Amino acid sequence: MRVFALILGIFFLTGCTVTTPAEPEAPAVDRSAMATDERTAVDAVNGFWRTRFPRVFDQPYRGPRVAGAYTGTNGPRCGGQPSVAFNAYYCRPGDYLAWDEELMAAGYRQIGDAWVYLIIAHEWGHAIQARLEADLVSVAAELQADCLAGAALQGAAQDGVIAIEPGDAEELAQTLAAVADDYPWTDVSDHGNAEQRTDAFNSGVSGGIPACIG
Angle between helices 141-158 and 31-57 (to 10 degrees): 100
**Between the CA of residue 11 and those of 6, 14, 32, 42, 132, what are the distances in Å?**
11, 9, 11, 11, 31
Q: From the CB of 12, what's the least distance to Zn ion, in Å?
A: 28
CB of 125 to Zn ion, least distance (A): 7
Residue 159 vs 187, nearer CB to Zn ion? 187
Among the residue ranges 9-17, 52-60, 141-149, 173-181, the one whose residues contact Zn ion (CB under 5 A): 141-149
Give, in order, the Cα–Cα distances in Å from 146 to each of 19, 99, 195, 205. Answer: 29, 16, 12, 10
Q: Is residue 203 a contact partner of residue 212, using CB atoms and an 8 Å limit? A: yes
Of 94-102, 130-138, 144-152, 158-166: span binding Zn ion (CB under 5 A): 144-152
- Binding segment for Zn ion (CB under 5 A), chosen from 27-35, 127-135, 142-150, 193-201, is 142-150
Nearer to Zn ion, 113 or 142 (CB): 142
Which stretch, 74-82, 111-119, 138-146, 166-174, contacts Zn ion (CB under 5 A)?
138-146
Q: Does 142 bind Zn ion (CB under 5 A)?
A: yes
If the CB atoms of residues 106 and 145 are measured against Zn ion, the closer one turns out to be 145
Q: 98: which residues sit within 8 A by CB, 6+ positions away?
A: 67, 68, 69, 70, 75, 76, 78, 83, 88, 89, 91
- The count of chain residues that interact with Zn ion, using the rule CB under 5 A, is 2
Spell out, one character per residue from 89 to 128, where the chain touches Zn ion: x when CB under 5 A holds, - when not.
Answer: ----------------------------------------
- What's the chain's length in residues? 214
Provide the minimum distance between the beta carbon of 193 and Zn ion in the complex, in angstroms, as a whole number: 14
84 touches 52 (CB < 8 A): no
Nearest 5°: the CA angle 42, 137, 103 is 40
Residue 146 in contact with Zn ion, rule: CB under 5 A: no
Contact, 120 vs 137, CB < 8 A? no
Q: For binding to Zn ion (CB under 5 A), which residues are involved? A: 142, 145
